[in-house]
Structures are given as C-alpha cells and as structure tokens.
Chains A and B, each alone.
Chain A
Amino acid sequence: MTTTISAGDSTDTRAGVGLRLGGLRRAFGSTTALDGLDLDIAPGELVALLGPSGCGKTTALRIIAGFETADTGELLMGGEDVTGLPANKRDIGMVFQSYSLFPNMTAAENVAYGLRVRKASKAERAARAAELLELVGLPGRDKHYPHQLSGGQQQRVALARALAVSPRVLLLDEPLSALDAKVRLQLREEIRRLQLELGITTVFVTHDQEEALSMADRVAVMKDGRLEQCAPPNELYERPATPFVAEFVGTMNRLPGVVREGGTVEVLGRRLPVTTGQGAHPEAGRTVDVLLRPEGLQVHTGEQDGGEHATVRVATFLGSTTRLHLTTDSGAEAKADLPSWEAGSLTPGTRCTLTAHDNPVLVEERDNPVLAEKTAS
C-alpha cells in the first residue's frame, strides 16, 4: 500500500534543509540548561534528542523553534543564520506534547491555520486541509472540533497542521507521551513513514529510548546540557561512547573487573579488550566496573572452570529469550539474556558458571561517587 504524496511544489524545494546548532548555551538563573551544545543535522534526517528530564533536550528544541533564545551560540537553518529570527519567521512546523489544537476551530480550520496566516485563498486552504487530513489518516473528520477527537486523532491533526505549511524543519516535542501505548506505537510508525516520504528534516524530543531507537536516523543522547553521543541507533547500542550512554540505552550490567596490561580487563575469568570511549585508560591493577549487556553474558549449567560461579535467582520468560537474574559467589548481581530453549534447565536455585563474550567493553573507575550512589540505590 503506497500513498503518493503531493505535498505541493514548495515542499520539494524546502524538504531537506540542514540544521546546525553551534555552541548553544542557555542558563535559567543558576541552572544551566544547555552547556555548549553542538549538533549537525543533515538534510532530511530524523534526529532524536534523548535524555533524562532536565538534560536540556526540550530547551534545545525550543531554541530551534524560536521560543527561547540562547545566551550564546548560533543556529543555522539551511546555511542561513536564524539565531535572532522570531518564531513566526522561521518556517517551522511543531507538534507539542500537550494537545495544542485551537479549541475554537474545526480540524480542517486547524490544519489550514498556517495557510490562513500566509493569506492563501479559501479554496486552496480547503484543498490542502483535506489533502493533509487524508495523509494523516483522518479523512472525513474535517468538521470535527478538537474535543470531539480522541487524543491520538488530535495529535494526527496537529501533525497535519504542522506539515500543511510545508515547513523547512519539523519539530516534535514528545508528541506521543500523552497517548496510550497502542496508539503511541501506531502513530510512531506513521510519523516515521511520513517523515521519510516527505524527506523533511525532523528533530524529535523524547525521554523514551525505545521511541528514539525505533524512529530516528541518529539519536543524540544528552546529559546535563551537553551532548554525550550522537550516533545511529545500532551504533549507540553496540558501541556507546560513555558509561552514561551505555546505561541509559538498553540494560547494562556492572561487574567488577581488574585492569591488565595492554588495554585489557579481566572479568568473569576472561581478558577482554577495553574500548576507550571518551575517557583515558585506567592504570593496570585497578579494580573497575565493567559494563556488559545481558546478551553479552554466557551461562553454563554446573560449576566449570574459566568463569565465575553463580546461582540463578529469578528466571523471567520473555518469549524468544529468557532473562536470568544471577548472583555470583563474589556477591555481584548480573542479568543475562539467553535464548529460551537454552535457558530451560536454568531454574531458580541452579548453580552455574558465568562468562562473557569476547567483545570490547567499557569500564569505569570504581571510586566514582556517582557510581557509589547508583549502587546504593
């Protein structure tokens, strides 16, 4: 089922405008929301800004939209400096977290609002509104008022409204967070489909890693107003640049290991190469936390050599995989994901041997105060 999209001539020329955030800094009183954010977004790319609340992702989006101004830094849209341009001159489309449709207008009037502001003719407005409502899967709802539409439908109309003006950049501020799980999943796929078809440069703010990983071309993980890493989803997951990214995206184990010569670390009876990430190599002989994904661990029944002995505490069946919660004899906790057919015999209480696959790993010094806090909680 392919839908042809005639988004108007203007779209073709405007789609795919690059975006450059250069050294954006913004403080609110004593709190620093953005602390020198640099990010280049390619034309037609969908970049998700991901991070815990208070990391500055929303501030970054609002600066792109023109609702906030950066204290320092620059913002380029298609090579043009728009840092000082007011929001209504930026040619953007935005979908908000809360329902933002104008309650006094019908769905069609909402969609046509941007065109009315641009003084398009009545016929043109009506045609475009009908076209876009069909595009977002709501044909025939043009005469409905926002309060007559469900949350998901309202966000669809909001998306149609943002796209109606053929914006240079589409900004999505957690547009799915107010919706229930099923609608969220459906709309997520549709937003991505539309974005790809229109080729519109899109910035998507979310705190939901699954959303970011499944939709974005690249995910920009932020922390304390800075960019930790911006990479395609698979790279982010497989080769996180920092322990923060590693633990924020997906599940991570922290297991004690000892640093050895030659950029390796000894953990679970193996010597694994250490990826430097952004930090320096710790000296040999130090005890560190080794970050390992649950699927990067191997579990063998019985007490064998070449690994650490452990006891299965809980086994959670997740369909094709089973997640085991284990406690090693040295007292460390670990989670391991195994194909369910392998995990059948590993019931709670079973003694087993835990080892790791031979992949490069990230390590972090143990006397990190943040870490101590995390272990405590």
Chain B
Amino acid sequence: MAGMKAATSAATAETGATEPGTAETGATEPGTAEPARARRPRRAKRAYGGALVLFLAALYFVVPILASLWFTVDDPAKGFTLDAYAKGLTDEGMLSALGLSLRLGLATVALGLLLMVPTMVVVALRLPRLRRVVEVLCMVPLIVPPIALVAGVSTVLSWEQDLAATPFYRTFQLLQNKNFPLVLVLVYTVMSLPFLYRALDAGLRGIDLKTLVEASRSLGASRTGTLWRVVVPNLRSAVVSGAVLSLAMVLGEFTVATVLGFEPFSVWMVHVGEYEAQLSVAAAMLSLLITWGLLLLLTNLAGGRARNRRKTTA
C-alpha cells in the first residue's frame, strides 16, 4: 500500500512541475492586489480560488502522510521515538528487499529504453504507418490487469518441469533466480511500455527528428552515432520522465511479484505489516523519501542543461 503511495507521489511530482505557475500567481497577486483590486477584482478572486483548490489538494496528500508519520514516531508507552526507523534501517530483510526493488527498477528502465527509443525513432522516421499499431500495442498493458498478465506468466513458468531434460530448463531457472528474478524485469518492462511510449512520443513531437537525423547523417555520422549523439540528448527530458514513471511503477508493484513468489520491497512491506505495523509504515515513509530523492535527482539530470542555457541568456 505504501508502494502505491510512492507511485502516487511520483505522479504528484509530475503534475507538480506545471503547478508552480499557478502557485506563483497566487503568491504575487496579493502584493499587487492593493492598487489593482479596484480595477480587477475578478482577477484577484480567481487567484484566491486557485489558492483554495491548491490548499485542498495539498490537504488530500499531506494529511495521510502526516498521519503515517505520527503513527511511526508515537509510541503509546514511550511517547516520541525513532525506534521504528532505526530498526528499519538496520533490518536486513528491508535492505535486501529495497535493494532488489531498486535493481529491478533500474533494469526495467534500461531494458525499456533500449527497446523503445530505437523502435520509436525508426517508426517515426521510416514507418509512420506503424505508429498507430505501436501505440495500441504499448497501451495494452494499461487495459490488461496485472493479475491477468501474471496468470499467463505463471502458466508459462509452470512448463519448467516438462522441460527438465532440455537446455530451456537452465533459462527457466535463471529467469526465476530469487536474487534477481529476470522474469520480473521482463514483465515490468511490458508494464512500463505505456509510460515510456507516452513520454517518448511527446518528446519526439517536440523536435524536428527528420531534419536533425538528416543533418547528422550528411555530416558523416552513422545511424547509431546519430541516435546516441543527436537523438537521445534531445529526448533527454522525455527519457527521464518516462524513466521516473516506470521506476515509480516498479517500486510500488505488488500483484505480479507476490503471485510469482518474489519479495521485493512492496511485498516485504505487506508481510512485515502483518506482525510489525509500525516498522511497515516506517518503511513506507522511507520508500517515499527514496522515491522523492530519485525524482529530484532525475529531474535535476534532465533540467541541468536547460538551466545552464537559461543562465547564459541572462
């Protein structure tokens, strides 16, 4: 459940990027409002209305987080305590589960990008007619519920015994390695396709791909060189936002992991919650922090260059 929260927070951070504009008007308006009020009362009213909506939305997100925070630091016997956090940070189960989730997330993002960036570039350049097909294919995971997806996957995995005598057996074992279950990476990659597609599609629409690629080719660059030096750098913010959404999805994913019997962070948290509620919620708070940290890091990676550019203009 806390994993879900992590995903929601990622989504909030995404929309948050567009929010400051509204927040700014809300903040600057009161200062200028004094002389302006007589002339533009409506404008001021609208600004206050915006602030109200923002305040209500903030309540909606902040109250549950504060309640969880209170729950983790308040012990009926001892009063304020950070025991739950200390325990969580030293708990081996939690650290290994969190490590697994992060590794799964990174592997998923890497595989997803490796698959989608070249595909979408080729489709945009050479096969524009396939654009709709790719879009529909990439959106399918949104429509198919994870439980249906995992049912299919477990059926395939159950062939393992029948294949015991063949070389495929090793592959099946490798896929289900408890330390790093590749099968989860494969399933998560499929589940991340909608996020990657949407982000990359927006990014590709924002640049004149054909001209940039042709310019690079005319200057002697190979196809891969062009992809790496020209296309990817100009899709940077799209790649980052797709990666952030996919990562948040993986960190919060529960259904597939639990049905296939693996224990990444989300599954561990639910298990622990059954007997140690405070530790479980503390872990949820930590995961929230980690997700925010990652978001901040990635957004900085994406925005760094743009900010430098703005500085040179000024």
- Chain A contact residues, CB within 8 Å of chain B: 65-67, 86-94, 96, 98-104, 113-114, 116-118, 143-145, 147-148, 158, 161-162, 165, 171
Contact = CB atoms under 8 A, between A and B. Distances in A.
B5 interface: no
A346 B234 CA distance: 62
18 contacts: A66-B218, A88-B219, A88-B220, A89-B220, A92-B218, A99-B211, A100-B211, A100-B215, A102-B230, A103-B207, A104-B305, A113-B219, A113-B229, A116-B229, A117-B225, A148-B313, A158-B215, A165-B220
Interface residues of B, number: 23
Contact of B219 (A86, A99, A143, A161): A161
B222 interface: yes
A172 to B, nearest CB: 12
A81 B28 CA distance: 67
B190 to A, nearest CB: 30
B212 interface: yes
B216 interface: yes
A164 to B, nearest CB: 8
B233 to A, nearest CB: 4
A171 B219 CA distance: 12
A104 B218 contact: no
Nearest to B309: A145
A104 B234 contact: yes
Contacts, number: 79
A98 B208 contact: yes
B275 to A, nearest CB: 52
Contacts of A90: 218
Contacts of B214: 65, 67, 87, 94, 96, 100
A118 B215 contact: no
Interface in B192-239: 207-208, 211-212, 214-222, 225, 229-230, 233-234, 236
B220 A100 contact: no
A116 B228 CA distance: 13
A147 B230 CA distance: 16
Contact of A65 (B218, B229, B230, B234): B218
A246 B234 CA distance: 47
B90 interface: no
A271 B159 CA distance: 97
Given A113-B219, A114-B219, A161-B219, A100 B312 contact: no
Contact of B234 (A93, A94, A100, A102): A102
Contacts of B207: 103
Contact of A117 (B208, B220, B234, B309): B220
Which 4 A-B residue pairings sit nearest by Cβ, starting from the closest?
Answer: A114-B219, A104-B233, A94-B218, A100-B215
Given A148-B309, A148-B312, A102 B220 contact: no
Interface string B277-314: 00000000000000000000000000001000100110
B217 A87 contact: yes
B245 to A, nearest CB: 22
B309 to A, nearest CB: 5
Given A102-B233, A147-B309, 20 more contacts: A65-B218, A87-B217, A88-B217, A88-B222, A89-B220, A93-B219, A94-B214, A94-B215, A96-B211, A96-B215, A99-B211, A100-B212, A102-B215, A103-B207, A113-B221, A113-B229, A117-B221, A148-B313, A165-B220, A171-B218
A89 B216 CA distance: 12
Contacts of A101: 215
A334 to B, nearest CB: 45
B312 A104 contact: no
Contacts of B215: 94, 96, 100-102, 158, 161
A13 B153 CA distance: 64
Nearest to A67: B214
A180 B236 CA distance: 32
A66 B221 CA distance: 13
A141 to B, nearest CB: 11
Interface string B14-54: 00000000000000000000000000000000000000000
